Amino acid sequence: MTTNISFSLNGDEISYDVKDHWTLLHLLREKMGLIGTKEGCGNGECGACTVIVDKLAINSCLYLAVEVDGKTIETIEGLASTEGSLHPLQQSFVDNGGIQCGFCTPGMIMSSKALLDENPDADREEIKHALAGNICRCTGYIQIFESVEAVKGMGGQNE
Amino acid sequence: MSKNNSEFSVVGKRIPKLDAAQKAMGRAEYIQDVKLPGMLYGKILYSRYAHANIVKIDTSKAVALPGVHAVLTGEDVPKKMKMGFIKDNPPIKKGKVCSLRDEVAAVAAISPEIAKKALGLIEIEYEELEGIFDPEKAMEKDSPLVNEHLKSNVLKMPWDIHYGDVEKAEKESAFVVEDRFTTTWVTHCCMGTSGAVALFDASENLTIYTNTQIPSLAHKDFLEALKAMGLENKRVRVIKPIIGGGFGSKLDTYAYEHIAILLAYKCRKPVKVVFDRVEEFKATSTRQPTITYIKQGCDKNGKLLFRDMRMVLDNGGHTSWGATTPSVMLMPISSLYRVENVKYVAKCVYTNNTYSQAMRGYGNPQATFAIESSMDILAEKSGIDRIEFRRINKNQSGDETPQGLKITSCGLEECIDAVKKELKFDGKNEKSVGTGIASLIHVGGGARIYGSDGCGAILKMDDYGKVDVFTGGTDMGQGMDNITAQIVAEELGLLAEDINVIHSDTDICPWDVGAHASRSTFVAGNAALGAAKKVKKKIQAIASKLFDAPAGKIKFKNKLVFVPGDEEKSMPIGKLLRKAHFRPGGTMLMAENFYDPDNENMGKELKGNMSMTYSFGAHGAKVKVDEETGKVEVLEYVAAHDVGRAINPLLLEGQVYGGVVMGLGYALTEEVTVKDGEIMNANFRDYKLFTAKDAVKIKAPVIETDDKDGPFGAKGIGEPGCVPTAPAIANAVYDAVGVRIKNLPITPEKVLAALKEKNN
């Protein structure tokens, strides 16, 4: 079964014929070539595939593509400005050692962005809670927390 | 220290990882992201039994499935295509399987879905054999044999070592303690799973994209694979995409790579084999599990007199580098603290379990768990304070250990003091709270376990002062790229961002033995530094003529080449390069350097200075044990390391924090649960990694001892962070509630059972 859906993706209005069994991750990575969203487990356990749907951080490997009809999606590719400058959260992950192998990074940044968009002054405990579903094997999380804290109050916004 | 950090412009600076912006934008390409025109997808079928004969395989239904291009079984694998360091493992098994991860067939198809469907259509008839899953039982005479032709389950390995006279020292000891410790299977859990894409060109040369930590040795393995396939004198090119975590997991070549090669050759199309997470858990190699018997003794003043250790290592069904971990375990066993009389016997035993490989620390965490737990037990028996006991026996500069390790720079005492200062070991803890300490020694200046411990670097300057460094080293997130850039920039008076480090392709990068043994900073760093020095000399010769000044007076800083104190004699480096280039008989500046450290292979006597220098450290933990549930909470953690010099403190902290948290998982939560050879928890719900919620406050004091052989004084720090973590926690648990957990991980169940036993 194929369904035509419309959604907003990183500011672009998209219309797409999707198979009903496709996940949002499959649509983004395999069909639209947005490789920034990663698959770490395919099972909703690691958070590498996190994107933001209607302001909520979700695991795109567990989210059916047909369900984004009429919704607004943000992926890692949509964060940097059109002139190429990094979003403050991206810059902060770079500057504070929040990135080693980088495989968890897009998911980490998207979870952090959803948090700060909602709660610009999130404290360490709230950050820990928001990132509890994003596994990182390299950093021990400390420099990731510091990366998020460094942009607190800026609301994760670059507009 | 000969040089102060303030004298450096680039070394010692917190320069963000050079590829971080690319990664932050989601533009970094991992093996998962590699897509080539006409590419097929390969999938692997694994054995249904841990130990069985393969009676019959029928692939006809899979072959007939539309979209399937090739189906391979063990019959299709050339006889001489074998993996592992004793070459006992064909990429697809024929006749017999020895573990549940044994590959029995593989498929290439136009989509992953069709390939998967085809696997389900392969019919295999097995004759199940009695399996053996306990290495100690596998050593018994009437045990089933994993490899019948070997007539024994015990591998022929040389680990039977005796330095000094342990029996005599035991008699002279005032206090002796003896215990048994075990460690279990844990796994790397790289966030990016394993995978490879193989393709052949029209002349049957192979290109393989693979996330390996050993591009040059992989190149050699694949050349041998081609030879086994009858493809003599062909070329192999290994291209590394960005690596989604290594930690030792990519230190060998594996079945998935060889299967991608075989499928690509059969189909004459690119074939991609990438693991899903379940496969990553079940079909990649673990850290080597161990059973350790340890006996140590000291005199009445606390001087350590002997250490006697015996180990049984579960080798699994095949042999990868896990069987060689005793060569590194020998280092802490012979040389952590001063001890003259040492015995070490290790037996690697075939079972029908999964087989092990390198994992961060390469045996050192297992050995150090036993040694440092035993040190605490011996200190208590001797009535000596546990920190004082360690200070009495500390390693020192100038020591030569029984194994022949030459200790040059050594900051062990400073590390112990830093832990003591940060954690306040005053014994005045509240109820159920305790502190623990454990130290480490690790190779910090390469490790000669192979014929060469070298690394090459080629350096090329453009006309504007930018540099390309082609290095044999491998970055897998740890920061080899930055360290190389900072070292070269420092030497040539440039900025780190002026240096482009290329480490992705065996066609253009020189040889290196691999990203292991915490050797990249020291060995790849020295390789690049040597090349930079050669280029520097050439520039000095050019500037000497231009400035009419002695070459030795020419200095480099802020992209300028100049004679200090003479304003006339100064020129931007780019301008100087152009002057050298754009003239009759012009020149461009390039240099190559191959650095092979002056360390030693262990000979037949199993003695030798395996590394040019050694990294030291001490970890301290403060824990609280919930006596109702047995749960251990880490309240504070201090990880002090002697790193020689911190080339980049930001990345150094990242290595330490990441290593410690991996070590805490090893200590407290991580365990691949194996039942009759089957992995029962192949997912992140049941395999308990530390999450952001579990993250611990870590202090990481850095001790700089300015190593004489290290690049700008630096030593390796990739692995040490996870080496003494488990014993530091175990010792803290004992201090908190008086129970000694000797089997990792220290789960609430084990703590609770021990408390119950103690209170009865």
Residue B412 confidence (pLDDT) above 70: yes
Say whether A35 and B29 touch across the interface (CB within 8 A): yes
Shortest distance between the Cα of B686 and any Cα of chain A, in A, equals 10
Report chain B's C-alpha Rg in angstroms.
27
> Does B361 share its domain with B232?
no
**Closest partner residue to A45 among B653, B662, B684, by Cβ?**
B684
> Does B386 share its domain with B462?
no
Q: Which residues on adjacent β-strands are paired with residue A15? A: A6
Q: Which residues of chain B lie closer than 8 angstroms to A106, CB-CB?
A: 24, 26
**Closest partner residue to A100 among B21, B478, B689, by Cβ?**
B478
> Does B621 share its domain with B520?
no
Contact indicator for B401, B335 with CB cutoff of 8 Å: yes
Say whether A45 and B685 touch across the interface (CB within 8 A): yes
* Torsion region of B302: left, alpha or beta (phi above 0 gives left; psi -120 to 50 gives alpha): left
Pick the CATH number of A88-149 from 1.10.150.120, 1.10.1040.10, 2.60.40.2230, 3.40.50.300: 1.10.150.120
B137 in a structural domain: no
Contact indicator for B34, B199 with CB cutoff of 8 Å: no
Beta carbons within 10 angstroms of residue A30's beta carbon: 16
pLDDT band at B85 (very low <50, low <70, confident <90, very high): confident
Say whether A142 and B698 touch across the interface (CB within 8 A): yes
**Closest partner residue to B26 among A43, A94, A106, by Cβ?**
A106
**Closest partner residue to B657 among A79, A105, A140, by Cβ?**
A140
> Does B89 share its domain with B15?
no
At B136-147, the pLDDT tens digits run 999 999 999 999
At B507-552, the pLDDT tens digits run 999 999 999 999 999 999 999 999 999 999 999 999 999 999 999 9
Say whether B660 and A140 touch across the interface (CB within 8 A): yes
Say whether B692 and A39 touch across the interface (CB within 8 A): no
Q: Which residues of chain B lie closer than 8 angstroms to A35, CB-CB?
A: 26, 29, 32-33
B184 in a structural domain: no
Q: In whole angstroms, what is the distance from residue B324 CA to residue B328 CA?
A: 8
Q: Which residues on adjacent β-strands are paired with residue B71? A: B107
Q: What is the pLDDT of residue A153?
A: 66
Mutation target among A51, A82, A90, A100 for the B interface, most CBs of B within 10 A: A100
Q: In whole angstroms, what is the distance from residue B630 CA to residue A36 CA?
A: 41
Number of domains in chain B: 3
Shortest distance between the Cα of B517 and any Cα of chain A, in A, equals 17
B402 in a structural domain: no
Q: Which residues of chain A lie closer than 8 angstroms to B658, CB-CB?
A: 100, 137-140
Q: What is the pLDDT of residue B6?
A: 80
Contact indicator for B83, B252 with CB cutoff of 8 Å: yes
- Map tokens 């393989």 to a residue: B208
| Distance, first Cα to last Cα, chain B | 55
CATH number at residue B485: 3.30.365.10
**Closest partner residue to A131 among B16, B683, B692, by Cβ?**
B692
Beta carbons within 10 angstroms of residue A14's beta carbon: 14
Q: What is the ipTM, given to two decimal places?
A: 0.97
Q: What is the pLDDT of residue B726?
A: 98
C-alpha triplet B190, B698, B732: angle, nearest 5°: 100
Q: In whole angstroms, what is the distance from residue A9 CA to residue A27 CA?
A: 12
Compute φ and ψ for B642, nearest 5 degrees: -90, 110
Kind and range of the H or E run holding A148? helix A142-149
DSSP B354: P
Final residue belonging to a domain, choices B562, B579, B595: B595
Q: What is the pLDDT of residue A155?
A: 47
| Cβ pairs A/B, distance under 8 A | 173
- Nearest chain B residue to A98 by CA: give it: B654
- The region of weakest confidence among B269-273, B315-319, B422-426 is B422-426
**Closest partner residue to B654 among A38, A103, A139, by Cβ?**
A139
- How many residues make up chain B in this entry? 760
Say whether A139 and B189 touch across the interface (CB within 8 A): no
Cα–Cα distances in angstroms (integers) from residue A7 to residues A24, A51, B522, in the given order: 12, 14, 51
The distance from CA A96 to its chain's CA centroid, rounded to whole angstroms, is 19
Q: What is the pLDDT of residue B2?
A: 56
> Does B618 share its domain with B588?
no
Query: What tokens appear for B360 in the block?
Result: 């961060």
At A44-93, the pLDDT tens digits run 999 999 999 999 999 999 999 999 999 999 999 999 998 889 999 999 99
**Closest partner residue to A104 among B191, B690, B696, by Cβ?**
B191
At A98-133, the pLDDT tens digits run 999 999 999 999 999 999 999 999 999 999 999 999
Query: What tokens appear for B457 in the block?
Result: 């670097």
**Closest partner residue to B192 among A77, A101, A142, by Cβ?**
A101
**Closest partner residue to A45 among B276, B683, B690, by Cβ?**
B683
- Nearest chain A residue to B661 by CA: give it: A140
Residue B1 confidence (pLDDT) above 60: no
> Does B588 share its domain with B696?
no
The pTM for the full model equals 0.97
pLDDT band at A154 (very low <50, low <70, confident <90, very high): low
- Nearest chain A residue to B276 by CA: give it: A41
> Does B114 share its domain with B227?
yes
Shortest distance between the Cα of B299 and any Cα of chain A, in A, equals 41
- Map tokens 């209005």 to a residue: A13
Q: What is the 3-state secondary structure (H, E, C) of B490-557?
A: HHHCCCHHHEEEECCECCCCCCECCCCCCCHHHHHHHHHHHHHHHHHHHHHHHHHHHHCCCHHHCEEE
Q: What is the pLDDT of residue A156?
A: 44
- Nearest chain A residue to B241 by CA: give it: A101
Q: Which residues of chain B lie closer than 8 angstroms to A132, CB-CB?
A: 691-693
- Nearest chain A residue to B193 by CA: give it: A40
> Does B248 share its domain with B107?
yes
Q: Which residues of chain A lie closer than 8 angstroms to B28, CB-CB?
A: 102
> Does B224 share its domain with B365?
no
Q: At B22, which amino acid appears?
A: Q
- Nearest chain B residue to A138 by CA: give it: B658
Helix boundaries (H) for B7-152: 20-24, 60-64, 112-120, 135-138
Residue B4 confidence (pLDDT) above 80: no
Q: In whole angstroms, what is the distance from residue B541 CA to residue B550 CA?
A: 9
Residue A159 confidence (pLDDT) above 60: no
CATH tag, A2-78: 3.10.20.30
Q: Which residues of chain A lie closer than 8 angstroms to B683, CB-CB?
A: 41, 43, 45
Domain containing residue B586:
5-28+454-595
Q: In whole angstroms, what is the distance from residue B316 CA to residue B643 CA?
A: 35
pLDDT band at B387 (very low <50, low <70, confident <90, very high): very high
- Per-residue burial over B269-292, b = 16 or more CB atoms within 10 Å of its CB, e = otherwise: bbbbbbbbbebbbbbbbbbbbbbb
C-alpha triplet B603, B608, B614: angle, nearest 5°: 145
The distance from CA B408 to its chain's CA centroid, rounded to whole angstroms, is 23
Say whether A46 and B21 touch across the interface (CB within 8 A): no
Contact indicator for A64, A24 with CB cutoff of 8 Å: yes
Sign (positive or negative) of CA dihedral A87, A91, A93, A94: positive
At B735-758, the pLDDT tens digits run 999 999 999 999 999 999 999 999
Q: In whole angstroms, what is the distance from residue B494 CA to residue B541 CA?
A: 18
> Does B322 share its domain with B458?
no
Contact indicator for B418, B178 with CB cutoff of 8 Å: no
Helix boundaries (H) for B553-617: 573-581
Shortest distance between the Cα of A70 and any Cα of chain B, in A, equals 25
Say whether B242 and A35 touch across the interface (CB within 8 A): no
At B152-166, the pLDDT tens digits run 999 998 899 999 999
Q: Which residues of chain B lie closer than 8 angstroms to A86, CB-CB?
A: 21, 24-25
Q: What is the pLDDT of residue B206?
A: 98
Final residue belonging to a domain, choices B250, B274, B298: B274
Say whether B191 and A40 touch across the interface (CB within 8 A): yes
> Does B438 share its domain with B318?
yes
The whole-number average pLDDT for the span B100-121 is 98
* Torsion region of B333: left, alpha or beta (phi above 0 gives left; psi -120 to 50 gives alpha): alpha
> Does B439 share its domain with B346?
yes
Query: What tokens appear for B679 in the block?
Result: 């992995």
**Strand B304-316 relative to strand B341-350, pairing:** parallel
Q: Which residues of chain B lie closer than 8 angstroms to A105, CB-CB?
A: 23-24, 26
Final residue belonging to a domain, choices B595, B613, B639: B595
The whole-number average pLDDT for the span B303-310 is 98
Q: What is the pLDDT of residue B427?
A: 67
CATH number at residue B231: 3.90.1170.50
Residue B459 confidence (pLDDT) above 50: yes
Shortest distance between the Cα of B280 and any Cα of chain A, in A, equals 9
Q: What is the 3-state secondary structure (H, E, C) of B239-300?
A: ECCECCCCCCCCCCCCHHHHHHHHHHHHHCCCEEEECCHHHHHHHCCEECCEEEEEEEEECC
Percent with pLDDT over 70 in chain B: 99
